Amino acid sequence: MVIMTSSMPFQPVLERIAEEIERMPGRGRPADYIPALAACDPRRFGMAVAELDGTVYGVGDWREPFSTQSLTKVFTLALDLAREGDELWEYVGREPSGNPFNSLVQLEYENGIPRNPFINAGALVVTDRLQTRTSDAAGELLTFLRSESGNPSLGFEQEVAASEAAHGDRNAALAHFMASYGNIVNPIPVLLDQYFRQCSVTASCADLALATTFLARHGVRADGTRLLTRSQAKQVNAVMLTCGTYDAAGDFAYRVGLPGKSGVGGGIIAVVPGRCTLCVWSPGLDERGNSVAGVAALDRFTTLTGLSVF
């Protein structure tokens, strides 16, 4: 076993993980219900680690842009939480759902209040509230990601957004159902357009590891300004740990031991508070929508380095 010291570089660890992942026999299947993602090669793999000073280490396809999908929910949550503070939690909960990410079931029992901000219903509420405050929630998200990653070329993938819109009946149903309880205030077509654009951002592991470092710096952005209070950054990390990997959050916490958020594009971001952030990408998913190789790689990372919140 390799245990990290404060001065030990991450590159040898990443290279060892990549060698092990290359030998993995099963990598899952891409998200075939989104046609624009279905053609991705499940054996692609990239991984990046960003330190707090902006130093980035990577391996494999770590500079290859991919569809971020639900990873952007973390950043939208942070941007809205920075604006309205604890009032947000009156409209979306902080509990694991135990149901699929696009489920309608719990909304009926809980009066249109989604369980957490990372299931689709919760993310729609957060996007709706950010849209009210900014008039362009997706644009606000993109500006933030470009700034924090240092990559001004990040953008929306129109093909992915159009594909999501064409197959977005379940999200529309969620939005209309919550609107009937007064928990959505913007016009549904406007909200869905913002939400699908948000999910269509393409970025690399390097970009996303860098963009996430404000959570490892306890709310402080790359330029030294503060986006979140230390308490708010703790809140986001806590919800990532308990709710960030769909209905497999308990297993992810058990295996990896870090706050993390997955997306059906095959990406996972993770935070080691006070030390570094990670992003791993491999398009093959398990039955719960999490990257098979991505979870395995993060499991090995925390085992090899000894870095965990536990």
pLDDT by residue (tens digit) across 199-249? Answer: 999 999 999 999 999 999 999 999 999 999 999 999 999 999 999 998 899
pLDDT at residue 1, as a whole number: 47
- What is residue 135's predicted lDDT score, i.e. its pLDDT? 98
Q: How many CB atoms lie within 10 A of CB 13?
A: 21
Say what the pLDDT of residue 164 is. 84
pTM, two decimals, is: 0.94
The total number of residues shown for the chain amounts to 310
Exposure on the CB side of residue 8, measured as CA atoms within 13 A: 12
pLDDT tens-place values along the chain, 310 residues long: 445 444 458 999 999 999 999 999 888 899 887 777 888 888 999 999 999 999 999 999 999 999 999 999 999 999 999 999 999 999 999 998 766 656 677 788 888 999 999 999 999 999 999 999 999 999 999 999 999 999 999 999 998 888 888 888 999 999 999 999 999 999 999 999 999 999 999 999 999 999 999 999 999 999 999 999 999 999 999 999 999 998 899 999 999 999 999 999 999 999 999 999 999 999 999 999 999 999 999 999 999 999 999 9
Left if phi > 0, otherwise alpha if psi is -120 to 50, otherwise beta: which for 268? beta
Which position has the token pair 């929630």? 137
Torsion of Cα atoms, 18 then 24 then 28 then 34, to 10°: 30
Q: Which of 1, 23, 16, 32 is nearest to 285 (CA)?
A: 32
Query: Under 8 Å CB-to-CB from 41, ≥6 apart: which residues?
Result: 283
H-helix segments, 23-157:
35-38, 72-84, 105-109, 120-134, 137-149
Enclosing H/E stretch for 156: strand 155-156
d(CA 119, CA 183): 15
Q: Which sequence positions are flagged as catalytic?
A: 70, 73, 195, 246, 264
